[in-house]
Amino acid sequence: MPTKHDVALRTEIIAVACDMARTGLTFGTAGNISVRVDGGFLVTPSGIPYERTTPDQIVFCDLDGGYEGEWMPSVEWRLHRDIYLNLPAAQAVVHVHSPYATALSCLRIDIPAFHYMIGKQGGPTLRTARYATFGTAELSDAMIEALADDRTACLLANHGQIAYGKSLAQAYSVAGEVEYLCRQYAIVRTLGTPVILDDTEMTEVMRRFRTYGKQPRDCTPEEVAMMDRPVRRDG
């Protein structure tokens, strides 16, 4: 596991944060990123523009609610801490106020299975956590409820979205996919009422997602047996 002094990891966090702003996934100092390390996690600091952040300003937080150094962690440090405490698979967390995810979060609805890719985040819907004031334990509790049942992302009511992954690259990818799905759903809502995939179909979709994007060498024998793949021709 990386250590809190890993300069390369701190530099990677800053690079991803800058890319979030460049691609429009967030704006200004909104949003935050963290990565799990030995004894806690590294998280972006509060109120410092990403392009001006230096590796020493990335803050180490422990899992008991403490931090080290002269720089305060993001006001949403608790969201990151509680994901690491409750979800062992989480190795990195990305929280952003991306435009479409934030807009839909203000409707306070779960995004239904209008597209099968909804299932990639672990369930037949993309949940919206109940509203609570930013930076509070109540918001963190609501988020953990929404991430139950193996969800890897959720919307935060009247706020934005949060996603986690087995690496920083994966967490960032999930956040991007959530924003793209929210954009698609917003578009289809302007065109009419979408046809929602039923529970039977979404059960099959999520079964297939167990091996989605994997090579056989990366799968268990059970997962390989599940794969619907073409016949390999050598020569």
Cα dihedral 185/188/189/191 (nearest 10): 170
**Is-catalytic flag, 76?**
yes
Candidates 51, 70, 76, 138; catalytic one: 76
Cα dihedral 129/20/135/40 (nearest 10): 100
Q: By CB neighbour count within 10 A (0-12 exposed, 13-18 middle, 19+ buried), where does 10 fall?
A: buried
Given CA atoms 146, 152, 155, 161 in this order, what sign does their dihedral have?
A: positive
Q: How many CA atoms lie within 13 A of 232 on its CB side?
A: 4
228 conformational bin, left if phi > 0, alpha if psi -120 to 50, beta if neither: beta
Catalytically active residues are 76
